[in-house]
Amino acid sequence: MQVPFFTSTREYMDHKAELDASVQSVMAHGGFILGKDVEVFEQACARRLGVRFALGVASGSDALVLASDVLGFRDGTEVLTPTFTFFASTSCVARLGGKPVFVDLDEETLNMDLHNAENRITKATRGIIPVHLFLQSTDMGQVMALAQKHNLKVLEDSAEAFGMETFYDGAWKSAGTIGDAGVYSFFPTKTLGGYGDAGLLVTNNEELYLKFKSYRVHGSSVRYQHDYIGYNSRLDTMQAAILNVKLKYIDQAIVRRAEHAKHYRDRLSSIPALRFPTILPGNREVNYVFNILSERRDELAEHLKNKGIGYSIYYPIPLHLQKCFAYLGHKPGDFPVAEKVCSQILALPMFPELLPDEVDYVCDAILEFFGIAHFHVIPGTGITGAGCSISSGMVR
Ligand SMILES: Cc1ncc(COP(=O)(O)O)c(C=O)c1O
């Protein structure tokens, strides 16, 4: 058996007629730049996320740069960002001349360690970018308290967090809607993924929204009049047409991801040499990525490869050790938790259309690697045997 780490083709085949019709309608009406499809998507996202304003942009990375620019994360100001995240969570500040101030991560949740963040605040610190990684939100109660105490702007990198919710200020809120602004990515592998690059910026602040909207089109709100030096970063109308269809099925997709995660956990949690990230109370998680951590990560990855199983490593090198950030003067050992997690983390196949048999095949391979015999009950017989994937019974 071959198990892909990710594929969009099964989903496409499930919704082919609707997706084709939606894309074809764009070609038929010919309004390729912004327009109705984008507006419909923005409004549907605002409703789904419970936020006042949503603005479609070209990618999650662009959304981060645009928001960093508007929030003033530039020209020497210091901004707290995790060292364990995707590059774009930090490059957005660096490319505007701001100074990324790296923060270590919490080993249990894999999100930013907020005690470490507070210790790194100086007089020049103006902002914080909490990144809601893989499956749960950063503790926004703590982030907002820190922001209030030190007068920081908060830009939530929710690129991976569509659908995640966190209990904040007495109510469940969508990750990304609590700080000054939030950013989502619709990169194809994401929980809500387009068929190309796409992103979204959200905020409850009308003034910020209007500025973001202007920055999206060359700093212009009236054609050929430029109030700011903005960008060209519009959500592509074809992507909006695809995302409008996919948004209808998002809850179903999230449930299927949760079922696969439970399946993995049920079968793998008895392996002493494996660890899973801990989900803290006050979180409604979304399994965008299913990670395991092992001291034998590289050997295990090789084993999975030999078995025809796709995997990914998010992230192999923490940002403070990336060549492009050498000017910040960090060295190995500066952020020990991030460095350890980078050497242990491994993401298993996770997408809604994954089949239970495929999850079983991955689990069998992992159990085999750790030398744990797994047996299967042949239904109706009570007979145990190896090699079929019907039950998840395990013996040591
Ligand atoms: C945490 C995080 N931030 C930012 C991004 C950038 O988003 P995009 O790929 O849409 O530019 C991604 C995803 O790729 C991400 O995972």
Give the model confidence (pLDDT) of 9-48 as tens digits.
999 999 999 999 999 999 999 999 999 999 999 999 999 9
Domain finish residue from 222, 248, 274: 248
Pocket of ligand 1 contains residue 91 by CB under 6 Å = no
Structural tokens at position 128: 């914080």
Dihedral angle computed from the Cα positions of residues 334, 338, 340 and 344, in that order, rounded to the nearest 10 degrees: -160
8 Å CB contact between 130 and 298 = no
60 C-alpha to center of ligand 1: Å? 5
Q: Are residues 256 and 281 part of one domain?
A: yes
Q: Which atom of ligand 1 is nearest to the CA of 197?
A: 10
Q: Which ligand 1 atom is at minimum distance from the Cα of 59?
A: 10
Does residue 391 sit within a domain? Answer: no
Whichever domain contains 156, its CATH number is: 3.40.640.10
Indicate whether 325 and 363 sit together in one domain.
yes
Q: Are residues 126 and 145 in the same domain?
A: yes
Contact 5, 311 (CB under 8 A): yes
User: Quick count: other Cβ atoms within 10 Å of Cβ 332?
Assistant: 10
- Cα(344) to centroid of ligand 1, in Å? 21
Residues 244 and 173 in one domain: yes
pLDDT of residue 373: 76
Intervals of the chain under pLDDT 70: 375-396
CB contact set of 85 (below 8 Å; sequence gap of 6+): 131, 133, 157, 315, 319
* 153-157/165-168 β-pairing: unpaired
* Closest ligand 1 atom number to CA of residue 198: 10
Task: Tell me the CATH number at 273.
Answer: 3.90.1150.10
Taking the C-alpha atoms of residue 203 and residue 176, their distance in angstroms, rounded to an integer, is 9
- Residues 96 and 19 placed together within one structural domain of the fold: yes
Domain boundary among 248, 263, 283: 248
Identify whether residues 229 and 302 lie together within a single domain: no
Residues 290 and 226 in one domain: no
CA of 117 to the centre of ligand 1 (A): 21
Q: Which helix (H) or strand (E) holds 144?
A: helix 140-150
Last residue of a domain, one of 248, 278, 293: 248
Instruction: Report the separation in Å between the CA atom of 10 and the middle of ligand 1, taken as the mean of its atom positions.
Output: 23
Q: What is the DSSP string of 280-327?
A: PTTEE---SSEEEE-TTHHHHHHHHHHTTB--B-S-SS-GGGSGGGGG
Contact 181, 201 (CB under 8 A): yes
pLDDT (tens digit per residue) in 133-190: 999 999 999 999 999 999 999 999 999 999 999 999 999 999 999 999 999 999 999 9
- Ligand 1 pocket check for 159: Cβ under 6 Å: yes
User: Ligand 1 within 6 A of 139 CB?
Assistant: no
CA 86 to centroid of ligand 1, rounded, Å: 6
DSSP state of 39: H
Looking at the DSSP bridge assignments, the partners of residue 275 are 293
pLDDT of residue 396: 26
Contact present, 365 and 2 (Cβ < 8 Å): no
For ligand 1, what atom is nearest to the CA of residue 133? 1
Residue 55 is assigned to a structural domain of this protein? yes
Q: Are residues 117 and 219 in the same domain?
A: yes
**Residues 33 and 100 both lie in one domain:** yes
Examine the domain organization and report whether 226 and 335 are in the same domain: no
Query: What residue numbers bound the domain in which 37 lies?
Result: 9-248
Give distance in angstroms: CA of 85 to centre of ligand 1.
Answer: 9
